[in-house]
A and B are shown apart, each in its own frame.
Chain A
Amino acid sequence: MSEPHGTWPIGPKPPLRRFHQARWDEPVIFELSQPGARGVLPPAVEPEIREVVGDPAAALPPSVRRERPPALPELPQLHVVRHYARLSQENLGVDLNVDVGQGTCTMKYSPKVNDQLARNPKVADAHPLQDPSTTQGILEIMWRLEQMLTAISGLDRVTLQPGAGSAAIYTNVSMIRAYHASRGEGAVRDQIITTIFSHPSNGACAKTAGYEVITLYPDADGYPDLDALRAAVSERTAALLITNPEDTGIFNPRIDEFVRVVHEAGGLCSYDQANANGILGITRAREAGFDLCHFNLHKTFSTPHACGGPAAGACGVTEELAPFLPTPTVERDADGTFFLDHDRPRSIGKIRPWYGVVPNIVRAYAWIMSLGAEGLREVAEIAVLNNNYLMRKVLEIRGVAAPYASGKRRIEQVRYSWEELARETGVGSEDLGLRAADFGTHYWTSHHPWVVPEPMTLEPTESYSKADLDEYAAILAHVAEEARTDPELVRTAPHASAVHRDDHEPLDDPERWAVTWRAYRRKAGLDG
């Protein structure tokens, strides 16, 4: 399809954006390597300097010295720049499209000014081993952010050490384990309960920590099943790990009863607040009775997700669990001096090096400061309004539904189902989401579990305008109609992207999955 250019006067824009992605057939950077090539050739060190400094490598203890140079790709600088610039064009992201389709991820706008603060040399060039007297500003930001998050959660202490949401959940599980062990019940309480629409990280972290995991399925009305919980709790219950609202956008109206049932069985309750964007300033972990909670600073508090990290998690606990927090904690002396407290004998120890992902802590602090308490509540209100507006628009499309608790409003996201459309046309949700890429956006279906048939998870956040949401809904309506009139066009989409379809099978196959180039070469038998 081509349209005339250079018309006068400028014609109207098409109702649907005609997007076309760049395609560069770009190899993996390791394949571009030319042995001996260098990006920067520093001048040779003058003999006088060499004489004074000696061999700089001699300062390294033998235990950290490499025997062989790392197998890094070798490229001229221009080739490196070109490689990544090309990859950046084969992409979509929050700066390019209406990014409401990555539900559960809270894809809100990260203000650029906060990036400037994080890049400030006072932050970016600081070293964690500096004497605390020289890092009082950063420690104060961490201390103040902790105070803010205690106010937002209602709990008593917060750690900013986890590098991601799952790391935060794992931190909470570790504290739960330490708590029961301290009471002599560590061996007995070997089960952790979660719900099927909680983030799967809850079950995964509990399992990784060695717990038996019980997952509750929804009741007949689509809500978390209180009777299932009653059937699951026992003297073996260590804790309930629960997300609320769940990934369906449904708020558990009996959340305090859930907490009570678990407490009566002697277990702890940990609140996964990854979906807190719709309840900021409205409900808190404290009032629901929770012992622990965690936030994803990279979701609710606007810091980047960083494509697999580091993001930033924050765990909150009651006074009773505070002794188990990771070490060190940031404390303030009576004279206002900030310091790091490493002397915490009951602590679970460290969960990652140093004290947290400082650039993201700075961004989250700046974001909260720019909004204030009333602003946070307004964020939640607009996020909920946007979501329910978009839900209304989406449900006008033939063939889509919002299963579970049907007819009820959602909080900040919705897990839709295209089951009816798929049955009528044979075109599934994954196809529709990929076809949306031909109009410059996309959506994400669902992660484990696949309980909702043909799922689509949308979370508009507060960042998008009514016009954005109207455009997004129009794309979905158009694509759904195409599934009826030209199903093969949708089945074979995207047609204008760098990569069309990829094979997911290796992701399920331990013999083939690989997260590094070296692992890939070994598993593919390329190294002989």
Chain B
Amino acid sequence: MGPARIGLVVNPIAGIGGRVGLKGSDGDEVVRRALELGAVPAAGARTVRALERLRSVEAPFDLLVAPGPMGEEAARAAGLDARVVGELAGTETTAADTRRIATAMVEGEGVDLLLFAGGDGTAADVLAAVGPSAPVLGIPAGVKIHSAAFAVSPEAAGVLAGAVARGEQIRFAEAEVLDLDEDAFRRGEIAPRLLGYLRVPQEPRLVQARKAPSPAGEAVMTQAIAADVVERMEPGRAYVLGPGSTVRAIAERLGVPKTLVGVDVVRDGRLVAADASEDAILAALGDGPASIVVTPIGGQGFVFGRGNQQIGPRVLRAVGRERVIVVATQWKLASLAGTPLRVDTGDPEVDAEVAGHVLVTTGYRDRAAYRIEA
């Protein structure tokens, strides 16, 4: 086995809007306006901060970078030798460049970790290019960072990449990629979308040293949750299954297919609606008894209103708060670092109804009394 391969793709215009009070940098118009307002691209500088941490790793590794402002310049500024992969299509960098070069890094070069610098939009491009199983990690450099695929800081990203370079045992987990424009969402123009999951290394604090054996790994915990929920399922009752791998494990235990980023409905162990809209969910429920099974978004804690907006106010009114089963591994709750779970369906009345303490299913016959805030 040769030295580890670390790939790097920078979205050089990520974060450019934030410095001048614009929301995000999606679209050419925003970028032009930002530059006119005097914005200096920060993504490169933040990438250099990550690479400086990576540079101090006392282990040989190969750094593969996208050309020019998309990685090469940051590597040079950080004093790292790097091999350039791919080329730019034109004079200005585009999302297509990100996708094409990310694919080349993962499929052509087989990198052990692909670092990408940017925001939610960049994460979406990387997801589209490399899918849910390639090892990747975001260097936070954008204005909008709602996705869970980013390290907490550029330095933390550099350290995690260094751990990969050293060949350390690292736990990887699925992290949500969200497409969410908060302002547009507030105005009711755009609903947040859960685009899918990237496979990212977890913060080392989640694999701490211990004086006692730790709880079981993520997969075992997820299966324990599924066992608990399936055991509680009642005949004739419909179960609305929200997105995410924790809920998917429940469908797997039932032996029914599950849309990873969509909402499905099952009854008596059979799928009755797949990838359903709010209307389709309501139709599937009919007048019969129903429950909702959801898992919060990692790191953010949204139970409703982010990534599962199909389970909207009408569905929640129809089913009732008492019939909401929130499932989450203890690690996911830990990732909230004491902040409450949140609900934001767009209907304040329903939000107030859902708020309060909920018994989150965290394992087999294991509950956490956790508060939800509207």
Contacts and interface: CB of A to CB of B under 8 A. Distances in A.
Given A430-B209, A450-B205, A196 B368 contact: yes
B205 A428 contact: yes
B53 A423 contact: no
B214 A219 contact: no
Interface string B327-353: 000110110011010000000000000
A433 B211 CA distance: 14
B371 interface: yes
Interface stretch (B3-11, B91-99, B156-164): B156-164
A450 B331 contact: yes
B356 interface: yes
Interface stretch (A1-9, A69-77, A220-228, A473-481): A220-228
Contacts of B300: none
Interface in A434-454: 444-454
A378 interface: no
Interface stretch (B14-22, B62-70, B190-198, B359-367): B359-367
Given A227-B357, A454-B205, A215 B368 contact: yes
Contact of B330 (A444, A449, A504, A509): A449
Interface stretch (A23-31, A45-53, A485-493): A485-493
A262 interface: no
Contacts of B204: 428, 430
Contacts of B370: 217, 228
Contacts of B207: 504, 508
A503 interface: yes
A203 to B, nearest CB: 8
Interface stretch (A134-142, A174-182, A206-214): A206-214
Given A487-B53, A513-B213, A505 B371 contact: no
A452 B366 CA distance: 20
Contacts of A430: 204-205, 208-209
A128 interface: no
A427 interface: yes
Given A430-B208, A447-B210, A213 B365 contact: yes
A429 interface: yes
B357 A215 contact: no
A351 interface: no
B289 interface: no
B80 interface: no
A212 B362 CA distance: 11
B371 A217 contact: yes
Given A225-B369, A228-B357, A429 B155 contact: no
Nearest to B161: A426
A169 interface: no
Interface string B197-222: 00000011111111111111100000
A231 interface: yes
Interface string A418-430: 0100111111111
B208 A446 contact: yes
Contact of B155 (A212, A215, A424, A509): A424
B47 to A, nearest CB: 14
Contact of B214 (A216, A422, A448, A453): A448
A453 B209 CA distance: 13
B156 A448 contact: no
A349 interface: no
Interface in A461-510: 487-488, 491-492, 503-505, 507-510
B369 A231 contact: yes
Contacts of A219: 371
A84 to B, nearest CB: 22
A444 B211 contact: yes
Contact of B153 (A227, A424, A488): A424
B366 A451 contact: no
A503 B158 contact: no
A353 B214 CA distance: 29
A419 B153 CA distance: 11
A507 B367 contact: no
Nearest to A166: B212
A491 B338 contact: no
B57 interface: yes
Given A214-B369, A215-B362, A216-B369, A445 B209 contact: yes
Nearest to B204: A428
A458 B374 CA distance: 36
Interface string A176-216: 00000000000000000100100010010001000111111
Given A448-B330, A450-B208, A488 B58 contact: yes
Contacts of B318: none
Nearest to A486: B56
A507 B333 CA distance: 22
Interface string A508-519: 111001000000
Contact of B369 (A203, A212, A232, A488): A232
Please indicate which of the listed interface residues A229, A427, A491, A513 has the most CB atoms of chain B within 10 Å of its own CB: A491
A203 B215 CA distance: 12
B337 A453 contact: yes
A507 B365 contact: no
A491 B159 contact: yes
B58 A429 contact: no
B57 A229 contact: no
Contact of B212 (A225, A231, A447): A447
Given A426-B159, A428-B204, 4 more contacts: A214-B367, A423-B153, A487-B155, A504-B169
25 contacts: A212-B366, A215-B362, A217-B333, A217-B338, A217-B368, A218-B338, A220-B340, A230-B357, A403-B338, A422-B152, A422-B205, A423-B155, A423-B156, A430-B204, A430-B205, A447-B212, A450-B206, A450-B331, A451-B333, A487-B53, A504-B209, A504-B214, A507-B214, A508-B207, A508-B214
Interface of A: 105, 193, 196, 200, 203, 207, 211-220, 222, 225, 227-232, 403-404, 419, 422-430, 433, 444-455, 487-488, 491-492, 503-505, 507-510, 513
Nearest 9 pairs between A and B by C-beta? Answer: A426-B159, A426-B155, A231-B357, A488-B56, A228-B369, A212-B365, A214-B367, A450-B334, A423-B153
